[in-house]
Amino acid sequence: MKPTLWTRGVALALAAVAQSLHAQAAATPPIVGRWDLTITGGRGSYASWLEVERSGFGALVGRFTGRIGGMRPIGRVEWRGDTVRFSIPPQWDNADADLRFEGRLEGDRLTGTITNPNGAVHRFTGRRAPSLRRASKPVWGAPVALFNARTLEGWVPDQAGPNQWAVRDGVLTNAAPGANLETTQRFDDFQLHVEFRYPKGGDSGVMLRGRYEVQIRDDPERELPTRESIGGVYGFLGPSENAARAPGEWQTFDLTLVGRHVTVVLNGKTVIANQIIPGLTGSAVDADEGAPGPIVLQGEESALEFRNITIRVPRGATTPAGRAPQRQ
């Protein structure tokens, strides 16, 4: 059948659209993507994270995670030549100025400076974040206890504050705000079971691989959970519901992490189901997302108690032992 003027017109229109989309894809700036950053400041180095993405035909927007706190949106990212710049309002800083970011891209290496709201300038290096895709589903081995209910064997406090951790009557107790507690072993993919109890107003978290915080917090608002609510991945993923019990009651987390995919079960209810964690949350122990990392119990916010901590790793997986990384 011979093509009609209408079919030829449609074909030309589709070809034009395809050419336009191809041109847009070809013009995507190399800064687009996710970046793991190591920042060096006056108190040593710390981990940070950046994502840059297209918005429409030409604008660039993004997301940023600093030393502490949650992910912050970037309303506009400027990209000229090989240089990226943006600014964002302060979050937990005791200052009113914006945070200013400027970096230079050379291949897959990003370097530059961050000017904090207090005026302090910190230098950074960054590299593209790994995808962490897995070729197959894990077959889990038997659960292994991470806490022996007698001593702190297998755990070490970090340097975030004074060590307040002790074992009392088979319970791992953080008596007051102070250091976080990290396993001396590193883990890749795993299923983690944790039982915890907090007082009224309690605030803590469990950090997976030491880089992704699953929030523990006494939430007075139980109807509208946010990305900072109990059971959420802090700043990134909000729970589908608040399944928490009252302060002073024992509660359970069953946390599965495979690559970037996380499932959070709080008190028997699945509140996050196999969702992707885009990048680092605040207070990450390092920016090496592709490496195994420790389990971290946060102790810097409030008193808290833990018990019955067990982990399952894929069959045949090896878990390297050694001292957990120490934050500066």
CATH of the domain at 181: 2.60.120.560
pLDDT at 182: 97
Q: What percentage of the chain's residues is helix, strand, coil (to nearest 5)?
A: 5, 45, 50
pLDDT at 15: 57
**What average pLDDT does the segment 197-212 reach?**
95
DSSP string, 45-70: EEEEEEEEEEETTTEEEEEEE-SSS-
**Taken in order 281, 285, 288, 293, is the CA torsion positive or negative?**
negative
**What average pLDDT does the segment 309-320 reach?**
83
Claim: this prediction has a pTM higher than 0.85 = yes
Last-in-domain residue among 128, 153, 184: 128
- The set of residues, in sequence order, having a beta carbon less than 8 Å from that of 163 and lying 6+ positions away, is 157, 178, 179
Rounded Cα distance between 308 and 251, Å, is 11
**What average pLDDT does the segment 266-278 reach?**
98
pLDDT at 100: 97
Rounded (10°) CA dihedral 179, 185, 190, 194: -40
**SS (HEC) of 3-17:** CCHHHHHHHHHHHHH
Position 327 in a domain: no
Q: Which residue has the higher pLDDT, 142 or 326?
A: 142
Structural domains of the chain, count = 2
Position 84 in a domain: yes
155 and 296 in a single domain? The answer is yes
Position 18 in a domain: no
Which range is least confidently modeled, 19-23, 174-178, 311-315? Answer: 19-23
Q: Determine whether 86 is exposed, middle or buried from the number of CB atoms within 10 Å of its CB (0-12, 13-18, 19+).
A: buried
Position 76 in a domain: yes
CATH of the domain at 90: 2.40.128.120
73 and 217 in a single domain? The answer is no
pLDDT level of residue 324 (50, 70, 90 thresholds) = very low
61 and 180 in a single domain? The answer is no
Does position 60 have pLDDT exceeding 80, yes or no? yes
Mean pLDDT, the chain, rounded, equals 89
At residue 5, what is the residue type? L
pLDDT at 322: 36
Does position 197 have pLDDT exceeding 60, yes or no? yes
Residue-wise pLDDT for 77-134, tens only, equals 999 999 999 999 988 777 789 999 999 999 999 999 999 998 999 999 999 999 999 9
Residue-wise pLDDT for 208-258, tens only, equals 999 999 999 998 766 668 888 999 999 999 999 999 999 999 999 999 999
Residue-wise pLDDT for 150-159, tens only, equals 999 999 998 7
187 and 242 in a single domain? The answer is yes
Which range is least confidently modeled, 46-60, 142-156, 215-229? Answer: 215-229
76 and 183 in a single domain? The answer is no
79 and 43 in a single domain? The answer is yes
pLDDT at 271: 97
Position 5 in a domain: no
Position 285 in a domain: yes
153 and 285 in a single domain? The answer is yes
Q: Which helix H or strand E contains 147, and what residues bound it?
A: none
Position 109 in a domain: yes
Does position 321 have pLDDT exceeding 90, yes or no? no
**What average pLDDT does the segment 176-188 reach?**
95
- The set of residues, in sequence order, having a beta carbon less than 8 Å from that of 282 and lying 6+ positions away, is 65, 66, 67, 68, 69, 70, 213, 234, 235
171 and 272 in a single domain? The answer is yes
pLDDT at 95: 78
Question: Helices in the chain by DSSP H: which ranges?
Answer: 5-26
158 and 306 in a single domain? The answer is yes
Residue range(s) defining the domain that contains residue 38: 33-128
Does position 328 have pLDDT exceeding 50, yes or no? no
Rounded Cα distance between 303 and 199, Å, is 7
pLDDT at 219: 82
Position 6 in a domain: no
- The set of residues, in sequence order, having a beta carbon less than 8 Å from that of 260 and lying 6+ positions away, is 131, 132, 276, 277, 278
72 and 100 in a single domain? The answer is yes
Which of 283, 208, 204, 236 lies closest to 46, judged by CA?
A: 283
Does position 326 have pLDDT exceeding 60, yes or no? no
93 and 237 in a single domain? The answer is no
222 and 296 in a single domain? The answer is yes
Last-in-domain residue among 68, 102, 128: 128
